[in-house]
Each structure stands twice: as structure tokens, then as C-alpha cells.
Structure 1
Amino acid sequence: MRIDNFNIQGLTSAQVNTAREKFGQNTLNYKKENSVLDALIKLAKEPMIILLLVASLIYFVSGKTGDGTFLVSAIIIVSIISLFQDSRSRNALQKLKTLTQPNCKVIRDGNLEEIKSESLVVGDSLVVEEGTSIAADGRIVHSNDFSVNESILTGESLSVLKDKEKEDNLVFKGTTVESGLAIVTITNIGNDTKLGKIGKSLESIKEEKTPLELQINSFVKKLVIAGALVFLVVWAINYFHSYDLLDSLLKALTLAMSILPEEVPMAFSAFMAIGAWRLMKMGIVVKQMKTVETLGSATVLCTDKTGTITENKMSLARLFVPSGQKISNPEDDLTAGERQLITVAMWASEPIPFDPMEVALHDTYIKLNKEDARQDFKMAHEYPLDGEPPMMTHIFENGKGKRIVAAKGAPEALMNVCHLTKEERQQIEQAIQTITSEGYRVLGVGESDFEGSSFPETQQEIPFTFKGIVAFYDPPKKNINKVLEDFYEAGIAVKIITGDNASTTTAIARQIAFKGYEQSVSGDELMKLSDDELKEKVVQTNIFTRMFPEAKLRIITALKAKGQIVAMTGDGVNDGPALKAAHIGIAMGKKGTEIAKQAASLILVEDDLSKMVDAVAMGRKIYANLKKAIQYIISIHIPIILTVFIPLALGWVYPNIFSPVHIIFLELVMGPTCSIIFENEPMEKNTMTQKPRPFSTTFFKGKELTTSAIQGLIITAGTLSIYQYSIYQSYDEALTRTMVFIVLIAANIFLTLVNRSFYYSILTTMKYKNNLILLIIGITITITALLLFVPLLTAFFGFAQVNATQLFTGIGVGFVSVIWFELVKIRTRRIGNSNRPVFGKSVAVMDELR
């Protein structure tokens, strides 16, 4: 039965263009915020910008126009850097939005085409089927047992039956097809749809912040409060020493500026958005930003079999007819019974097949029959796939009143609705066991002579005759063995959750060296377990067969209850609840239904599971680099804060060694370092041989924070030592300030290089491919040299000319105050090597990650 039998030709290309010119694109367009203006407003609220504005104003009021002008210039530079990062993030997110635009099927010029839903026009003939999201409002012109879930509009989760003959023959954008198939003539698109008219309220819904984002915000707020308190204390101390209001205010602002870690939230947002963009380039669409931070923590991957582990290229491979007493190959000379089996199985398939098994049945039917009877029959009634185990039934009639009632589904389901003797059942079960043990996927086929127009409520009430078994072969993907090895090496357990039977799944699992293929649990067995029993079972078992939605959801819930971070792949309507429940729901881009894509947080564009290895690697890389960036920020802020505060608090000779101009210069050095250099760092070679990090891990407690604090304190010791050395050498304030500044700049450069890895030595990380390292460090060294050796700039910053001995003394102190951490890394590697298990071949570091 082809599309032209519905007497629907669809629009011509010319009509499509005319409709698009008249009604526009099928997109929801509302008054958009001015993103640049919003970014500027957000920037104006930043504490650092406010402090700089206040400091520059004080300089101007005090008559120090040079310093005031410098701070205004600094405000412009900081703003440009922030706007650049914001632009990178927004551009990355905008590109992601275009990829999450769903596709739809339309009939145009008599042909079935797949297009982007935004290209849909008024008058188009839209084909919608089970599992798809309806892309625009329209009127049904043809349907088969068609029902829709309209909860997005009505809040009512029950499906609604619709038909062109019924009063309710309209469908609406955003609703999803629960069952059947329909062809719809589009009446409204974009803002004119029912969903479009209420879209403003939907757009106002904001995504909740992730735990890590909340931790970062909390950390920054605490430091802002601390900065405010210290600001008041320092202002008071300076004021009671000098009774100069403006001068004491400037010195207090200097310390407050040194405390604010405004780079932290900037780095977080940049890493997440750009990470999602990098994943997109690899064929992985990230729908939710929080997924990027979760990827590196995944401990379990639950995957379906068909199309994920296997090719999803079904070919009819075996036939069994009870009367024939043998298992046949479709390529052999077939008996009349075997030909009839294929014909009945075809009629039990969708008229417009999209499932690979149904496509194979239609193709085989065409090869075997010179006369195509599909032209003469129309579907009179349809029972969609349901039941446990599932089956489906189609009822066709032709103009002469001849009826075909055909069913297919799990062999157990068909055997239950057919009147079989004990011997017949045993014979069929033996044939199934023989076929499935070779890795074939089987369907039972039944036919009925049901008459009358009063169809039973359920298909299971119809009496059927068992026609036989059709078996399909779906070979494993060629790269699946390597993919599994990579997951195992990364410490990620893999579990197969499939609707197929145990024998077929076990046979495929054995072929691909799947761990734990020896035992499996069926959906029915699983549902009988208590919650406590299930928690233990899901850990011990890796193959789950004959699964249905409730069983899948119980598995995901039980794994989460055991503290696992669960990633799950899925493509069908039935996978929706489990995909949504998983920490990382992964939908297939090609064979995935729109319901699956809506429920998922990731979409694999090419349906390639190896991309999940890449995604996990990227997630781990992003997290590791973000951790490096934040640890760097904390480590370098500590010496700046203490170098400003301690001389003042202890009443040293030069109590105010730095002014706002010095602090803002150091801030300008740190910003690009943390958000540009570290974001561009490649993945370390041991990343995918480590265990997944616990999801509860943060940057702000335990080992990481201690490491950063110690690094910062030792750099502080270096700066204060050079301070005291300068006093001992009877240097004046300008030269002392210069020496301290050189130590800080040198320490910043060496800290950047040392902290590229907390495991591998600096000699190893120097070989990492990151061209931005030389660029940013080169710029830093060049500008610092200008400040030290160009008299005009030297005088402006309150520095003094240094000789070679003084210069290299400052650089040497900065080097020593950082390089000691290499000794810690040597010890870490020794401990790691003695405790490390023997792994297989390491995961190759991808060019995209480098």
C-alpha cells in the first residue's frame, strides 16, 4: 500500500514557495531580548566593574587623571573580554538550538520527504506516526487507529483518539502521537498555532541550576561578602592612620578587588557552553547544559540492542511453518505455507513501513509476488503494539468485502492467542530456541477469520491461527567490540535492556564479548522482585530481556538507588520514561522517535554508540580542565590578597605596596589564562583509564581546595620574602613594588604551566598541543617587559628600573614558589603506578579533544 493510494499528492515545489512567502517559517518568534544590551547590563552589575568605576572616579576627583584614565581603559578591556566570552557561549548555544530542531515527514509532489519542521508550510500533507511530535496544527485527512497525547496543552495525560470522520479531527503543534498513523493537512504554523499563542508562558520557564553551578555561585557570594567586610576593615585602618578619606578608600578598594574571583563564574559558563559546542561538532547534540558536567561521572550505561549494538539493518533470515517441520531460508525454494507466512506477516506490518523488520517483510513480499495485492486493500481497523509480551493486529478490506486479519509480535504473545496443542507448542518453542540461539530475532505470525464490524476492545480477544515464525538477522556493528572495551577500561559498566528474547540477546552478546552474557533476567521476572532484591539484581545482572516501560523504569530507579550515575540509550516511545529518569538520557538521532528525543538530554546524530565514549571523554576533559582553571584562580588570588593585606595589617615599611592599577593588571592576566588557556587544554592520556568521579565531588572542599590553598600560600611566602629581601637591601618603595610584582607575574606563568596537570610532569605537559599557551604567556611577558623597561609606563605604574640580577632574582623566586609542586606529582605518580590495575589498550585521544 503506497502513499498514492490515499489519493494524496501533497503540494508542489511552487506551492510550497508561495505558502512560505505568504505565511513564513514554522518557528515560534517572540520579542527577543537584545542579547548584546543584556550582556552589557549584566556586566554593569558585576562587582569588579563597580569597584573599578568607583576607583576611577576617586582618581579623577583626586586629580590623578592618568590613573583614572588607565582604570577606565581597564574597564573597557575587561568588558571586551567578558563580552567575547559571552558571545562565544551564546553562539555555541545558538548552534545547538538549530540542531535540536526536529524533522518531520511530508508528502510533496507525490513523494514522501523528510524535512526540518521549520520548513513546514500551510497546506503541507504531514505524515505523523507513533512516537513523533506533531510539528504544526492541522486537520486529519487519513488515519489508522490514531491517538494523540495532548498533555502539553491540556494537562491531561490520557491519549485522545482522533479520526477524520470524528468531530475532533484536529491535531496541534507540540502534541505527540501515542499510536497509529495519520496524514494531516497543515492549517497553522509558527505563532499562529495553538501552542504558539501560549508560547510566551512556556518560554518563561527557566532551567534549574545544577549542583556544581550552585556551589560556584555560593563560593563567589561568600568571597564577595568577605571582600565587603575586609574592605570596611582596611578602609577604617587606613583612615585612622591618615584621615584622608579618598586615599583610604582607594587602598580599601585595592584589597576588595584582589579578593573578588569574578573569573570563576565566567570560566564555568564558558566551559559548559563551549564544551557543548565541541560535542556538537563530534555529532553529539546536548539539549541540557547540565549534561556536560554529568558526563564524566557516568558509572553505568544501559543500552538497547537493536540499532545500538546491532546495525539495525534487518534481513529476513529464517522461516518456520508448524506444518513444515523444518526451519527454512527465504532464499530457498519456498512452500506455499512459507509464502503465505511472509504474506500474512507483511499484512501485519504498517502500510507505510518504517521499522526495519517491517521494511524487510514488505521487500520480501514484493520479490515473491508478481501481483501486488496491497493496491486493492484499505485498513479498516488497527490494534497498535501492546500487551506483555507485545503484539499488533491489522485488519484490511478490499472493495469486494474480502477481509485480512493479520497479527505479529513476540512468539509468546501469538502462541497465547492461538489454540495450540501441547505438542504444537513444544514444537514451536523448540524451533524458536534453535533460531534464537544463532542470534536471530523472531516474530510470531497469526491470522484470523474474524467477521463482523464490532471489533473487540483488545486484540487478544480475537481467535488466531498460528501461521509460523519469521526470523531476522541484525548483525552486530563492526566497532561494537572496541566500544565495549573502551567503556570497560573507563570503569563504566554496560547493561543491555531489550524487548528481544533471552536467546537472541545472549547469542549477540556472546559474539561481541559482552561481559555477563551468561545470565539474564526477563521483564516479568524482574517485576516480581521486591525493591531490595531488585537493587542487588541490577548490579549483578547485565542482560535484561523482554523489557517493557515499567520494567525499564524500575531498572533505572534501582541503579540510581544504588548510587550509580546512569546513562541510558533509547529510541522508542516506550523508552521515554526511563530516558527521562536516567541522569543522562541518550536518544538516537536517526531511528529515535521524537518522544525519545524530547525525553533525552543527549542525541547521537549518527546512532553510533562509540560517540558516547567520545562524549564521556569530553565530559571528563571539560571537568578536569574546569577544575584546573578554578584551582589556578584560587591559587593565584591568595598571594594577591595576602600581599596587599599583610604589609598593611602588620605595619610594614611600605604598607600599601599595590594600588588598583596593579591589581587590575594582574586580573587582566588571570582572566584569559583561566578561561582561554585551560579551556583549550587537551585530554590527558590517563583520563579514560580512571574510575568515574563521584557526582558529589566539588572543587571547593577536600584535597583540591587544600592543594590550591597550599600553592597560594607558598607563592605568598615568595612574594613576602622578596618584599623583606628588598627592605634588607634598602630598596625604595618603587623598587620593592617592582620586585614583588615580578615574583607574582613569574609565579603566575609557572603556575599556569605546572597546573596543566596534577599528575604528569611539566616536561610531559609541554608536549600537549595547545597553541594558546605560547600566545597568552607571550603577550603577558611582552606587556610586563614594557612596564619594566619603558620609562613612561614604569613611572606610571610606580615601578623602578631593575638590573639583570634583580630581574632574575624575582623570576627565580617566582619559579621556586611554584615548581615545588612537581615533587608532589612525582610522589603521586609513584603511588598511582603501584596501585594501578592492569588495563587494556588505552583509549586514543581524539583530535577533537586535542
Structure 2
Amino acid sequence: MKDKHYIFRTTKIDNPITKMTIDNFDIKGLTSEQVLKAREEHGYNLLDYKKQNGFWFALKSLVQEPMIILLSVAASIYFISGSGGDGLFLTFAIVFEAAISLYQDSRSRNALEKLKEFTEPNCKVIRNGEQIEIKSEDLVVGDYLIIEEGTSVPADGIIIHSNDFSVNESILTGESLAVTKDSTADNNLIFKGTNVASGLAIATINYIGNNTKLGKIGKSLEDIKEEKTPLELQINNFVKKMVSIGTVVFLIVWLINYLNSKDVLDSLLKALTLAMSIMPEEIPVAFTTFMALGAWRLMKMGIVVKQMKTVETLGSATVICTDKTGTITENKMTLAKLFVLSSQKVTDLSEELSKEEKDLIKQAMWASEPIPFDPMEIALHQAYSKLEENDERPNFKLVHEYPLGGKPPMMTHVFENQEGKRIIAAKGAVEAIMRASNVSSQEKEEIGNAINLLSQDGYRVLAVATAEFIGNDYPANQEDFGFVLKGIVAFYDPPKKNIQKVLEEFYKAGITVKIVTGDNAATTVAIAKQIGFRGYEKSITGDELMQLSDEELAKSVIETQIFSRMYPEAKLKIINALKAQNEVVAMTGDGVNDGPALKAAHIGIAMGKKGTEIAKEAASLILLEDDLSKMVDAVAMGRRIYTNLKKAIQYIISIHIPIILTVFIPLALGWLYPNIFSPVHIIFLELIMGPTCSIIYENEPLEQNLMKQKPRPMSTSFFSWKELTTSIIQGLFISAGTIFTYQYALYLGYDEAITRTMIFTVLITANIFLTLVNRSFYYSIITTLQYKNNLVFIIISITVAMMCALLFVPLFNTLFDFEVLNLNQITTSIVIGFISVIWYEVVKWIKRRRALIA
């Protein structure tokens, strides 16, 4: 079954350039039969360590929950005192409560496991003479692996070919500097878990899974524990305070009851009733459920969230720093135009090309990697293949190279054939190539005019140069070759069709968008104009940015929207400067050089398709389809989750207050029926409240106005005084309803059973209407009833059915010490419960009126 799964996960990579180059190296790779045989012999490429059983861990944690402990104590007291019915009900309640908790925990764990599957990296291999992409776990011993800059090495292997290849092995050695590797016997090994810092290599796999060097020393990401987020800490602290208060009140009430009755068990049972009413155990369950299921919902939308804290941060994003290529543009590089310095002419590739123009393309190709993986280099190889009938690439071997370097960067390759003919070609940023070439003032002016002409239409430009060199003692620096600038190649990467709409969505949501790119300012501004980007008039380069003082930098990062010619240090400086201004920063990136900035941003966003493994590892969120519109969805989901979690917790606080006061006030003031509720009643209310807050509110849709509001500041406390006050007042109004019902029943001379039943009916009614009213703290209940959430009807129907059973089924009547109410008593209770909650609709109406006037 696993092998069948493997076959479906294999993806053929249709790249004729790469295939041709592979053929030149005469690499066919394993056949399908050899792959199956290797898997039978060596298994899958997985690190198998003994993992903790999630179910038993959840069960162990559950046994330690305060509410389960209280229920167990109360059930034991009932059995000891001879109240078997009550004891059995509480035992059933313990099982039911445990089942709900385990189910919610299972949903959370399953959601997180699916996320892990989505973040599992892919790798490229050569099999059956073709390059294909597979899951890293499907790699087998003997595979021919292709690894390139930005990827993580998925298994141990031996290099058979490399271009400018270096690896960061800090996970194994602790050394942060990259190590150069090649096919020589002394330095030809690669190891699982290390990262490719530069270049490309082909390697044969000799060890996988636990047999790799990483597997043997036992390092695993499973050992890394996430720190608790600020929101999680706030919630945990709130619950701890409530538990502390509950413990103190429990001891006081136990003492008071014991002094009055001298009955240890009876007084303990009454004190436990109050302690149960104070415990807000639904809150941490709600938090975990909302975050895990929120991450799962995002995953279904094509957004993989790697860290739980990202879900709660998404709704706070105030700035999105996006790169240009592949995010704003299609990343479909096409060689479109040429400028040959000797002819001083800009030519479209659709025109008839001269010998000099063909030679410019040829030299640009030689300046590229022999096995291209960069979109521009692939475009150059493809253009060369179309123009040249006699392909010279198989005849030349790369004998020396200078990797991409400098600010702005350039790169140089030295090729040689068997006759000793040598080709030295360089390409890179126009400024870098001009600096390394002997260019006259007039030629600089002509080049500048050509760049302006091309850039203002959004073309991405690279300069190309050649050099002559005799001997093998190559210069230490590529700039010292004494280049002759041949001309400029211009690529066109069209803007994505939906990008203008995406930008408008961000602007409506109060989010500032900044372009941070390695491209030049003119090209970036031209694309920005085409897509309706706000603030394209002002830009700054990486070098200019690094020269600014702290005060100037703080001002510049806020006022400037386009950052061009950026390099890693400059990108990181932008992110840190924005964070220092209390902005919540999201940053998109795909390359190795984006790693530091992605790590530093509050929300690092890597591209799932064109993103390197290093970028994905540094990021906290991955867009599987490389579509920035998904970030709009992600922000909306973040705001929705945060808002719905708040609704759930405000609901919990509001409904706990009347339960606490209804239990405490008659007892403290010595009213006629001091123990109106027992643990049986409290646990029934808990069983209703748990599903309500965790299921109904988690499933609530995005409110209409949520994406038109400004992002909430990260410094905002989850339990703000204003929102707490609203919840407390709602709870006090419901408490007033229950206490009024109590006194009204006494006034009419009703007995304890009828009084208890009426108060309980008021609480259940208030619970139902509070659920409906608190679906929005702005829109009316009439509007929210139109929201698509089928669970509202289902949960409320179950609650009503259970209440009817308690009121009219004799068995439950007896168990709960209830009395069948007449029509007048039921109507009175329902009306009081309704009024105690519905008043908040007036408050919401006033809010909407004020918003219209404003």
C-alpha cells in the first residue's frame, strides 16, 4: 500500500535543459524495479524514534485536570453517603467530560499531524533517465539526488558532480561557515539535515533514515519544544488565578457549612458545588482547539502554518514586506530584449537577430550554471538552444568559477574544451559589470539610456561581459579579469493577474505593503505602477539604507514603500526597524538570502513551489501555491480565529458568573433554600457550556466588517478591561434574573424543587440566548441568525431536548430534584432568561448608530 502511495507522489519535472545536461553526464538513475528492491532492503528515509503515545499522554493530563478531580471526589462522596443515583450520574459525567476532552485533543493532534505531512520536504532525483520530484521519505539507497542552493540535504551521499557547491553543516559540527564540497575523494560527502549554501550538485545516496550520520547521533526535530505564546500565557495565568480563587472559596464555604451542620461529607459536597462553578476549565480547551483547528483550516486553503503562535499573530499584521519576483510577478522569466553595446541598439527577440546579438545570448548562457535552476538562467539556455544549430555545451567543461557575490552581485564562469579553447563570461547587475569593465564615459551614458528605456517598461536587466586570460593562475577576485562589456539582456516577468485586487484587500484591511527586492529601482517602480501599488514614487536602495542613522532609518522604513537592490543585511535591517516602530511584520521570501529576515519577522512567509528549503525552514508559514492572495485569506482567518476565541471566552466568563452567584448568595445570606444547586446541576451546565464555546464559536464565519478594521496591536491584552467589563455586566444581568426568579418563587410560596427548576430553566434559557447574542458584539441577532453555521441549530436543539427531558421525564426529575412546571412557571422562567440577555441588543444598536454617524 505504501509503495502504491509512493508511485502517486512522484512528479515528473519537465525541464528539457536539465534533461539534456543530465544526458551529457550519462546519468540514467535507478529503474522502478531497482527502487522497489532498494526499499525492501533498506526501508524508508525516516528517522524512527520512540514517540510518546498521544492518547495516553492526553489521558494522563486529563486525570490531573481540576474539574475531573472535583467530579471524582463528589461522586465518591455520593456513593459513600448512599446517594447511588447521583454518584452514577457524576460517574457518567466524568466519562462524558473525558470523552469530549479526548475527542478535542484527538482533533487537535490529527490537525497538527497533517500539518507535519504538508511541511515534509520534497527532493529531486534522476530515475529511469528522467528528473522527477518525490517526497524525501521516498528516497532510496542508490538514488541519484540533485540538490541545489537553498535545499536541505535529505540523506547521506557521495558527490559525483558539482557547480560552485557549498554546504552549511552546523547541525552536525556546530560550525556556522559553509564548507565547499566537490567530487574529489577528500571532500565528496554530503549529510542528511545539512543545508546547501550555494551551487548545485548530483550525488548518489548511500545511507538513509536512521543509518545516516544525523540518525546515528539521534538528533530529531521531535525533541524541540515550542515555547508558550503570550496569548497562551495570558490564558493560563487567568485560569490559574480562577483556580486559586476557587480553592480559597472552597475552603471558606466548607468551613462555614461544617460549623453549621457538623457534617464533614455534606459540607464538603456543598463546597465542591461552588468550587465546580468557579473552575473555567473550558478556556484552555477552547484555546488549544481553536488554534489547532485554525491551522488545519488554513492548511485546507493551501496555507501551511508551522507554529501555533503564527495563527494568533496573523490577525495583527500591520505591514507586509513582499519580494517582487514570483510574488508580485509570475516568475515566468522570458528573454525579451537585447542591447548590444557595439551597435547601441535595443532589439526585440521577435526581430531578426544580428551576429553580435546572437553572440550576446551565447555569452550570457556561458555565464550561467551548466545545470541551470535559476529562471533567468533557464531562459538563457533555452534561447541559446533555439538559436544555435551546433550545440557547443557538451564540448566544454567548467574549469573555474566565481560564485554570485558582491553588492550588487555578479558571477563568472571559465569553460575550456579539449583543444584548450577557453571561454570566460560574466553576468550580473549592470553596476557591478560596469565597475569590472573598461567602459568609457560615453558608453556609460549609452548603457544608462538603454537601462532607463528597458526598466521603465518593467524589464529585469543583466549585463554580460567577456574576458581573455592565459595560464591557470586565476585572479583572486573576478573583478580583476579586465572584462569587456558586451551588452545587456532584458527579461520580462509579467505581474500576476490578481495582484492588484490582492493589494486593494490589504489596503482595506489597514495593512501597509512594501516591496523589498534585489532588482533595480526603475524596474520595480515600473511594475509597481502597472499594479496600482501605493507609494511607488519613493524608493531607496540597500546601500543608501545602510548609510542611514537610527533616526533616519526609523523614519525611512515607515515613509518608503519600495526598497530596491536589497541584500540580506539590508532586508534584516528593514524588518528590525519596522519591529522597533511596533509594527507587526509579515515578510515573504524564497531564497537562501531571505532566511535571516524571514526568521526575524513576526510572520515569515515562504513560497511552497519556488521557495528554497532554507526559506521554508526559517519561515513560520508556507504558501503552497506561491499566491499572495492566500495571505489575505490567512489574515482573515487569523482575525476570525482570534475574534471567535474571544467570543467563546467572554461567553464562558459571562455564564460562569450567574452560576457562581446563584450557588453562593443563598448560602452566604442564609436564605430559605441555601443549597439550591448540587454538583449534579453544575456538571450538567458544564456539559452544555463546553460544546457551546468549543464547537459553535470555533465554527463561526468571518464577520462582515472584520477585514475593514485596522489590525489589532500586538500589545493589546486578550482580556482587555472593556471586554471583561462587558462579560461581567452580562453575567451580572443573568445573575439578577436567577436571583429575581428565586425571590419571585419564594414570594409565591413555591417549594424548593419548583424554585430550583425555575432557576435552572432561567439559566438554560439565558445560556441559549447568550450564545446567539454573543455571536457578534456589533451586528444584531437578526443578522447573525443568517450566518452559515449549522452547528448553532444542532447544539441548541440538543440543549432544548435535554432540558425538556429534565423537566418532563420522571427519572431525571428525581435525579435532579426537579418538579414538573406548569405553563405559567415555564413561560415566566423563559421570559426572565430571555430578558436577562437580550438587553445587549440595545447596546449593539447604539454602537451601529454611532458608527453610521461617524
Offset at 1:376?
Answer: 1.3
Offset at 1:454?
Answer: 2.4
Distance 2:310 2:418 in 1: 55
| Corresponding residue number in structure 2 for 1:847 | none
Task: Output aligned runs, 1:204-223, within 5 Å.
Answer: 204-223=223-242
Question: Amino acid of the residue matched to residue 231 of structure 2?
Answer: L
Question: Which secondary structure state, in structure 2, belongs to the residue aligned with residue 806 of structure 1?
Answer: helix
Tell whether the 8 Å contact from 1:138 to 1:187 is kept in structure 2 after alignment: yes
User: Equivalent of 1:400, from 413, 419, 426?
Assistant: 419
Offset at 1:202?
Answer: 4.7
User: Equivalent of 1:653, from 664, 672, 675?
Assistant: 672
Distance 1:528 1:699 in 2: 40
Deviations 1:197-228 (A, max 9, x none): 23356532211010000000000111111111
Distance 1:382 1:68 in 2: 81
Pair 1:286-2:305 in alignment: yes
Task: Output aligned runs, 1:591-606, within 5 Å.
Answer: 591-606=610-625
Pair 1:617-2:643 in alignment: no
Pair 1:390-2:409 in alignment: yes
| Corresponding residue number in structure 2 for 1:276 | 295
Question: Amino acid of the residue matched to residue 402 of structure 2?
Answer: Y
| Corresponding residue number in structure 2 for 1:92 | 111
Distance 2:594 2:220 in 1: 28
| Corresponding residue number in structure 1 for 2:811 | 792
Distance 2:261 2:219 in 1: 58
Q: Structure 1: where are the runs of 5+ without partners?
A: 836-850
Distance 1:273 1:159 in 2: 37
Distance 1:72 1:456 in 2: 83
Offset at 1:698?
Answer: 2.7
Tell whether the 8 Å contact from 1:180 to 1:382 is kept in structure 2 after alignment: no
Question: Amino acid of the residue matched to residue 405 of structure 1?
Answer: I
Question: Amino acid of the residue matched to residue 761 of structure 1?
Answer: S
| Corresponding residue number in structure 2 for 1:846 | none
Question: Which secondary structure state, in structure 1, belongs to the residue aligned with residue 342 of structure 2?
Answer: helix
> Structure 1 residues 352-361 or 729-738, which shifts more?
352-361
| Corresponding residue number in structure 1 for 2:206 | 187
Tell whether the 8 Å contact from 2:291 to 2:311 is kept in structure 1 after alignment: yes
Offset at 1:628?
Answer: 0.3
User: Equivalent of 2:129, from 92, 99, 110?
Assistant: 110
> Structure 1 residues 323-332 or 301-310, which shifts more?
323-332
Distance 1:490 1:674 in 2: 27
Offset at 1:145?
Answer: 2.1
Question: Which secondary structure state, in structure 1, belongs to the residue aligned with residue 187 of structure 2?
Answer: coil
Offset at 1:504?
Answer: 0.5
| Corresponding residue number in structure 1 for 2:149 | 130
Offset at 1:299?
Answer: 0.2
| Corresponding residue number in structure 2 for 1:840 | none
C-alpha change, 1:417 and 1:560, in structure 2 (3 Å) is same
| Corresponding residue number in structure 2 for 1:816 | 835
RMSD between aligned alpha carbons?
A: 1.0
Offset at 1:455?
Answer: 2.6
Question: Amino acid of the residue matched to residue 444 of structure 1?
Answer: A
Pair 1:22-2:38 in alignment: no
Offset at 1:355?
Answer: 1.6
Distance 1:200 1:452 in 2: 47
Distance 1:204 1:441 in 2: 45
Question: Amino acid of the residue matched to residue 235 of structure 1?
Answer: W
> Structure 1 residues 106-115 or 80-89, which shifts more?
106-115
User: Equivalent of 2:718, from 672, 681, 699?
Assistant: 699
Question: Amino acid of the residue matched to residue 197 of structure 1?
Answer: K
Question: Which secondary structure state, in structure 1, belongs to the residue aligned with residue 356 of structure 2?
Answer: helix
Pair 1:666-2:679 in alignment: no
| Corresponding residue number in structure 2 for 1:232 | 251
Offset at 1:382?
Answer: 2.1
User: Equivalent of 1:241, from 260, 263, 280?
Assistant: 260
Pair 1:74-2:93 in alignment: yes
User: Equivalent of 2:603, from 567, 572, 584?
Assistant: 584
Question: Which secondary structure state, in structure 1, belongs to the residue aligned with residue 697 of structure 2?
Answer: helix
Distance 2:811 2:544 in 1: 83
Distance 2:301 2:254 in 1: 53
Offset at 1:463?
Answer: 1.8
Distance 2:107 2:209 in 1: 28
Offset at 1:460?
Answer: 2.0
Offset at 1:722?
Answer: 0.4
Offset at 1:699?
Answer: 2.8
Task: Output aligned runs, 1:360-759, within 5 Å.
Answer: 360-759=379-778
Tell whether the 8 Å contact from 1:626 to 1:678 is kept in structure 2 after alignment: yes
Question: Amino acid of the residue matched to residue 834 of structure 1?
Answer: I
Question: Which secondary structure state, in structure 2, belongs to the residue aligned with residue 232 of structure 1?
Answer: helix
Pair 1:319-2:338 in alignment: yes
Offset at 1:146?
Answer: 1.2
User: Equivalent of 1:157, from 151, 176, 180?
Assistant: 176
User: Equivalent of 1:145, from 148, 161, 164?
Assistant: 164
Distance 1:703 1:382 in 2: 64
Distance 1:84 1:37 in 2: 13
> Structure 1 residues 237-246 or 443-452, which shifts more?
443-452
> Structure 1 residues 350-359 or 494-503, which shifts more?
350-359
Question: Which secondary structure state, in structure 2, belongs to the residue aligned with residue 405 of structure 1?
Answer: strand
Deviations 1:597-643 (A, max 9, x none): 00000100000000000000000000010000000000001110111
Deviations 1:722-762 (A, max 9, x none): 01111111111111110110010000000000000000000
Task: Output aligned runs, 1:344-359, within 5 Å.
Answer: 344-359=363-378
Question: Which secondary structure state, in structure 1, belongs to the residue aligned with residue 389 of structure 2?
Answer: coil
TM-score normalised according to structure 1 size: 0.97
Distance 2:333 2:284 in 1: 49
Tell whether the 8 Å contact from 1:498 to 1:544 is kept in structure 2 after alignment: yes
Question: Amino acid of the residue matched to residue 639 of structure 1?
Answer: P
Question: Which secondary structure state, in structure 2, belongs to the residue aligned with residue 182 of structure 1?
Answer: strand
| Corresponding residue number in structure 2 for 1:832 | 851
Offset at 1:553?
Answer: 0.4
| Corresponding residue number in structure 2 for 1:298 | 317
Q: Structure 2: where are the runs of 5+ without partners?
A: 1-19
> Structure 1 residues 20-29 or 214-223, which shifts more?
20-29
| Corresponding residue number in structure 2 for 1:328 | 347
- Percent of aligned pairs with the same residue? 69
Question: Which secondary structure state, in structure 2, belongs to the residue aligned with residue 352 of structure 1?
Answer: coil
Deviations 1:665-689 (A, max 9, x none): 0000000000000000000110100
Tell whether the 8 Å contact from 2:342 to 2:486 is kept in structure 1 after alignment: no
Tell whether the 8 Å contact from 2:304 to 2:621 is kept in structure 1 after alignment: yes
> Structure 1 residues 697-706 or 548-557, which shifts more?
697-706
Distance 2:212 2:848 in 1: 61
Offset at 1:832?
Answer: 2.1
Distance 2:773 2:845 in 1: 12
| Corresponding residue number in structure 2 for 1:259 | 278
Distance 2:480 2:799 in 1: 80
Offset at 1:195?
Answer: 1.6
